[in-house]
Amino acid sequence: MKSGRGGLMTLCLIVCTTISKAQQRLEAGLWAGMSGYLGDLNKSDWLTREPQPAWGILSRYNFSERLALRLSFLQGQLSGRDSHYEDRAFRNFTTQASLNELSAQVEWHFWPLYHPSLKSRFKPSFSPYLLAGFGMIHTVSKPNMDNMFEEKPFIVEGILKDKQAPSRFLHGAVPVGLGLKYHFAYQWTLGVEATFRFAFSDYLDGISHAANPAKNDRYQFWGVLLTYRFLQKPFGFKNRNPTKCKVPMNDYF
């Protein structure tokens, strides 16, 4: 009986420790910022001419003080027009597209972000970080290519190809970027970041052959994020002689 009771207590200790540590590594939060179009109607690969409001939600699992895995859902808009550029004004294309992205990203911190088990040992810390991953995006584009001031045969031919192309709503993308985290309170972290998304499609904006079919579309997100870390007291069990299931308190993680 003693052997069985000791084994049960050992198993409880292992389970409690695992669950408690897993919960202490989990965060959830909000993201708010801007989305930017970098497709065929935008000449720069880095800056958009028509930033749009964007928002999102995210969860994060911290494997260590340097490495984390993030799952996020972001929603924004993409828009661009030829009238921003003198050499393209004759074409007079415009486009608008809704954007919904679900992605998984790995975050790597340059400096460790410590999280002690005891609140009394907490000290604010910050670190730059890099992120990269993979995502799926859903877009509904509304291109307008019917108001050219000067028609050119090769552009007209491209317009016909784009209008006859099958509708494409789902696309893959690779997000990469950098940011800065500030762990300012025991359960709260604030971050700012700028990211680029490289799509596996040239039809995020609904325009390809009429512009530059040799280059896929891109877009960007930049904004701020606020996350909350879930912390719960260790589990326990009771019997005739109450015994608490204590979880060892490590200094960090």
Residue 73 falls inside a structural domain: yes
Residue 122 falls inside a structural domain: yes
Q: Which letter does DSSP use for residue 12 in this model?
A: H
Question: Which range of residues forms the domain containing residue 42?
Answer: 2-229
Residue 238 falls inside a structural domain: no
pTM here is 0.83
Q: Which CATH number fits the domain that encloses residue 33?
A: 2.40.160.20
Residue 248 falls inside a structural domain: no
Q: Which letter does DSSP use for residue 247 in this model?
A: P
Dump the DSSP string for 75-88. Answer: EEEEEEEGGGSGGG
Residue 33 falls inside a structural domain: yes
Q: Which pLDDT belongs to residue 235?
A: 40
Give average pLDDT by consecutive 10-residue segment, the chain, 253 residues: 52 45 81 97 94 98 96 98 95 97 98 89 96 97 95 94 93 98 96 97 96 96 97 48 44 53
Residue 86 falls inside a structural domain: yes
Residue 19, H or E segment: helix 2-24
Residue 239 falls inside a structural domain: no
Condensed to tens digits (0 to 9), the pLDDT of residues 140-191 reads 999 999 999 999 999 999 999 999 999 889 999 999 999 999 999 999 999 9
Q: Which residues pair with 201 in a beta bridge?
A: none
Task: Report helix, strand or coil for 11.
Answer: helix
Q: Which pLDDT belongs to residue 243?
A: 45
Total count of domains within the chain = 1
Residue 242 falls inside a structural domain: no
∠ at Cα 103 (100, 108), nearest 5°? 140
How far is it, in rounded angstroms, from Cα 191 to Cα 183? 9
What are 16's two structure tokens? Answer: 């409690």
Q: Which pLDDT belongs to residue 23?
A: 54
Q: Which letter does DSSP use for residue 120 in this model?
A: G
Dump the DSSP string for 137-194. Answer: EEEEE--B----SS--HHHHHHHHHHHHSPP--EEEEEEEEEEEEEEEETTEEEEEEE
Q: Which pLDDT belongs to residue 9?
A: 53
Q: Which pLDDT belongs to residue 225?
A: 98
Name the burial class of residue 70, with classes exposed (0-12), middle (13-18) and buried (19+) by CB atoms within 10 angstroms of its CB.
buried
